[in-house]
Structure 1
Amino acid sequence: MASATPAKKMREEATCSICLNLMADPVSISCGHSYCHLCIVGFFENIRHMKPQEEKFLCPQCRAPFKTASVRPNKQLGSLIEAIKEMNCEMVCEEHGEQLHLFCEDEGQLICWRCERAPQHKGHTTALVEDVSQGYKEKLEKVVTNLRQLNDECVNLKVLMTKQINEWKDVKDTLKRSWAVKLETPEPISLELNNMYNVPELYFDVKKMLRSHQVSVTLDPDTAHRELILSEDRRQVTRGCSQDNLDTSSKRFSAFPCVLGCEGFTSGRHYFEVDVGEGTGWDLGVCIENVQRDKSMKQKPEFGFWTIRLCKKKGYIALTSLPVYLHLKEKPLVVGVLLDCEGGVVSFYNMTTGSHIFTFPKASFSDTLRPYFQVYQYSPLFLPPPDE
């Protein structure tokens, strides 16, 4: 077995037998052994904790007795330790005591010239450290850059998730307020005519509250897609064949069969109803006045739309940033839309049962809002006047 190198021997001699690290502020005792100053002081305190009157101690290594008065700083050993630390900073091979001036690319480690000749590195690709350091530095910088980008993405994702959680908390609070009217069990009302007219009181309460804000909404022909046919009173819209005789207007929806209401809202509370009947598909709600009307149109709140949808395959959906699927117990024949401009709230109600359907997360409306409708085949929409 090969003997230890001089550098290794020096390190062993400079190692404290108590903490097993290079000595810090080395001191010697009467037997000649040396320790870290704090280690030997701690040794005294441990003994005195068990034997308070003890004045003589035994060396941790050779068990020779000594007194605390014999403890002396070992400056020469301290200088030797500093030299060893400097040698470590200069990258000296622990096994051979030679400078680590080569890099083994197969093992990915620094080696000395004697390591290069050893069997474990035979046939490996080696190069001078100064020749390969720049290339590895550039690789490391790329890795650091990628890690920073990933960190930034994680931070942004965390901010987005926090924002969405807060928005959903607002939705939860709004839903609680909307459903508060259902906390009490409704009592049936006897109208004497016969039992088929018994209706829960709360249905009338919700309907009365909503209709106190009801406005008359009619359809704007200038915005209607070419496939939409409007009734003379502009309260009914049906999907049909394309009408080529209509003028070309920037207001008209060109990609999807949509139409806006004539009325615009900037403040206050406004409520309107849409008779969807037995239709198998529709989109309805509100949007800002200047939404996109071509193929780039995206029906989400961040693009100015607050709408819900019925489609054959997926059923009822709230078209939020991430669509929310709605599980309704009863099919609405009439849908009520409540807009609170100051509160930043758009809510939908099933007026067949007087129940709440969905409320969008609180928003800040900075532009005029108008009723919005998308019409599907065989699913006409009708806007009943307020007095019905």
Structure 2
Amino acid sequence: MASRNQADEDDLQDLMCSICKELFQGPVTLDCGHNFCLSCITHSWDTENIARCPECRKEFPFRKYAVNRALGNLAEKARRVSQSYKPETTSTFCEEHQEKLKLFCKEEKTPICVVCRDSLKHAGHSFITLQEAVKMYKDKLKIASSPLESQLKEFRQLQNQQKQKISVIQRKTQILEQHIASEFAKLHQFISNKENQLIQQLKEEAAGIVREMEINMKEIRQTISTLERRISAVHSKVQQDDPLHFLTEIKDQTEKFTEWQRCSSANKVTVKSLDLSLRPCSYLIQHDNGKEIKIISTVLSSLKLDPDTAHPELIVSEDQASVRHSGKKQQLPDNPARFTKYLYVMASEGFTSGKYCWEVGVSNKTAWCLGVATESCNRKGNIYAQPLNGFWTLWLQNNEYFACETSYVVLNICGNPQKIRVFLEYEEGKVSFYDADNLLPIYTFTSTFTEKLYPIFNPLRQTDGKNAYPMKLCQQKL
């Protein structure tokens, strides 16, 4: 009997779902050939969010399956056969009185027979038939399951909503990926075009310089050829052996040779020295305050300081490339261009259009100010160096970096820049400051320029030798 039961169980294994370990209920077949209850595979896929076979782990691009009716019929037949062989687990007779259980004690909540009803054990209890008890408790279970069914419905709705959200995010991700790829393709094309443009500019400029040098080379060759002919004529005259023949034309020959020497001295040809302007290689891709990418110039404008604008306490170097505070007032003419209230000095060149950049060395200084100012700015009285008054300036003072807008804008700068690069874009209305050593942006003013702008510098005061180092204009280096 045991062997038969074991054999029956082995036969049923082919009709059992590997997920719930029960006979198939509405079986479906996946593309890989494995079978599962429809509810089991649906729950499995909902849990993992991936269409995958629970047995062989093969993944599918879509939730695809086929209803296996034949297998479902076999499983149903096996279920009926299995139930017919199950022994009756619940006795229908009272163990104490061997009477059939027909009643239900509401107080004890248990089936009883008619003898139990009349016994002292159930004295005062109320009874109903088994059918009534079944109906009563089924109704109670239905009522109890109603909130659970409502919760189930609610959570299924939440599940569907979450699926939709996931689907939306996945779709948005795909769209954004395409957008990013498209934008960077444009950027790559822009950079490629800029590269080709700059290379072409370089080639054209180099070709023009070479043409001029080749013209000069042609003049040198012609001069060499002329000199060679004249030297040959002189040597030919010197080699004459007949004294009378030699001296017959010596006067005319001497005058001719003297004239040649005079012409050679008057028409000197020199080596033409021309160099590339650096404009074609004067660009660098740089983040503008971390928001956008732009191309900035890397060639420095050739600036000199204008001593006629310098405050009387400032010392401008002889080469007009640096300025420092002397601590003493000099006897200088009070011309209209000179600053007399604050320690400013302007550059000798101003700008009304275009893009320019320059660098200022501020190493070892503990305080300074630099930027640009309008030609008409107040140079004699009290001024607040803000854009409203024609000043766009960056400051270091009291160990703080700040920009002067309508009020001070304190800046969080990493480290202490040793050189500041100022980049003026006149038409765009921008004055930008960078750490020149790494080209990290510091601050950008945005305004509208309507008159000539001059680079401006303020080394600030030195006290007891502190902050005595000069501010220096840096020169372009290759």
TM tier, shorter chain?
A: 0.3 to 0.5
Query: Could you tell me the TM-score, scaled by structure 2's length?
Result: 0.37
The structure with the largest alpha-carbon Rg is: 2
Which of the pair has the greater relative contact order for Cα pairs under 8 Å at 6+ separation? 1
Query: Could you tell me the TM-score, scaled by structure 1's length?
Result: 0.45
